[in-house]
Amino acid sequence: MLRKTLTDDTFYLNMGPQHPSTHGVLRLLLRLDGERIVECEPVLGYSHRGHEHMAQTKSYLRFMPNPSRMDYLAGLMYNHAYCLALERACGVEAPRRAQYIRLICAELNRIASHLLWFGAYLLDLGGFTPFLYAFDDREDILAILGEVTGSRLTYSYCRFGGVARDLTPAFPQMTRAFIAKLRARLADYDTLVSKNIIFINRTKGIGPISREQARDYALSGPNLRACGIGHDLRRVEPCSVYPDLDFQTVTTNQDAGIGDCYDRYLVRMGEMAQSLDIVEQALELIPEGPIRAKGVPQEPAPPPGDYQFSYESARGLLSIYLVSDGSRVPVRMKWRTPSFSNLSILPLLLPGTLVADTVAILGSLDLVIPEIDR
């Protein structure tokens, strides 16, 4: 907690919980000396909804819509991770076609999440044009996912042992057209933003995180890989059909071992390009066959025991810890979401920086506050 004693030269400023750049109900209690930050205390709890408690009062099936409401920007990935965790606990494997469909939709959802971050981040820093382009591209993904899932934001498409329904005839064509469009647009983003001197000055050298600090605070996802640590669960602990696909783990500063706001931007832009490659390969390799495993009960009941499953979400390490007593309702379901650890490093990064840099540093971490306030 911040010390509530003030000197003549310091004062407190509340940033949030309604400030637009916090993208959710996050409150930052800043102690300032003029324009320079002395201390920062993140204050959470404004949107807590009790997902983990609800998991203990619902059956596994009835809890299915909840995960996508945690990280609503990557809801399909959470839906995917939840089904994979239950399948591992129950010893169920989805058919190969279903696994490819899940992966394609999850990677499209990853791109959609990164696009929203990109557009909102540039808007926070005063750039309106990239925001319009990014949301135009994201709208294409929402239309593609809506074609097969029926939803645009919060998804409940995956099922225990497969998916709710097969791809529509229009889905592959729509997806390939989008891949070609976004590849061209990424080149435009590079010209418009990556080489923009104003953006470089606002992000280069701002909010540096060393490799040691990243490990100490358990950072994951793009924030970790921007420090030169190439840890991606899709590679080091692959699930589904990721081992069948050829893609690279995007990192920056492998030698320096330190990453700033600009590096975190570069990693996410590179990840979008890699996700396009993943989706394109999966469309070529997807086999024919069933989309649901046979004999899977609608109401699963894992054998008694403790189970753990980890997944690489758009923001980093998502881990589900499950305790089962053999019934259809879990004894305990603990979700380790990446934004909490990624937010925890903020009080280390802000002291000594200017208030104007707070938006750049906070935005570069790509936090989703309802993912923390579960």
Would you list the domain boundaries of the chain?
51-372
Question: What confidence score (pLDDT) does residue 23 get?
Answer: 66
pLDDT exceeds cutoff 60 at 267: yes
More confident residue, 23 or 317: 317
More confident residue, 153 or 2: 153
More confident residue, 372 or 254: 372
Structure tokens at 5: 């004693």
Domain 51-372 has CATH 1.20.1070.10: no
Eight-class DSSP state of 292: B
Question: What confidence score (pLDDT) does residue 293 get?
Answer: 92
Contact 271/252 with Cβ under 8 angstroms?
Answer: no
Angle between helices 170-189 and 261-285 (to 10 degrees): 150
* Strand segments (E) across 130-215: 158-159, 162-163, 209-210
Residues 6+ apart with CB under 8 A from 188: 133
Structure tokens at 83: 């089904």
Helix-, strand-, coil-residue percentages of the chain, each rounded to 5: 45, 15, 40
Structure tokens at 241: 């059909």
| Residue range 173-184: mean pLDDT, rounded | 95
Note the pLDDT tens digit of each residue in 102-154. 999 999 999 999 999 999 999 989 889 999 999 999 999 999 999 999 988 88
pLDDT exceeds cutoff 90 at 16: no
Scored b (16 or more CB within 10 A) or e, 78-101 reads: bbbbbbbbbbbbbebebbbbbbbb
Please give the span between the terminal C-alpha atoms of the chain, in angstroms, as a whole number: 22
Q: How far apart are CA 236 and CA 222, in angstroms?
A: 15
Q: How far apart are CA 222 and CA 93, in angstroms?
A: 29
- What Å distances lie between residue 215 and 13, 219, 342, CA to CA? 30, 6, 11
Q: Are strands 209-210 and 258-259 parallel, antiparallel or unpaired?
A: antiparallel
Question: What confidence score (pLDDT) does residue 255 get?
Answer: 72
Residues in a beta bridge with 321: 308, 334
Q: Give the mean pLDDT of the chain.
A: 91
Window from 4-13, 51-60, 108-117, 307-316 with minimum mean pLDDT: 4-13
Note the pLDDT tens digit of each residue in 275-284. 999 999 999 9
Q: How many helices (H) and strands (E) would you count in the chain? A: 14, 10
Q: How far apart are CA 226 and CA 223, in angstroms?
A: 5
DSSP string, 108-126: HHHHHHHHHHHHHHHHHTT
pLDDT exceeds cutoff 80 at 7: no
Question: What confidence score (pLDDT) does residue 45 get?
Answer: 85
Contact 256/99 with Cβ under 8 angstroms?
Answer: no
* 3 state SS of 196: coil
Question: What confidence score (pLDDT) does residue 369 get?
Answer: 87
Note the pLDDT tens digit of each residue in 23-33. 668 889 999 99
Window from 71-80, 253-262, 335-344, 356-365 with minimum mean pLDDT: 253-262
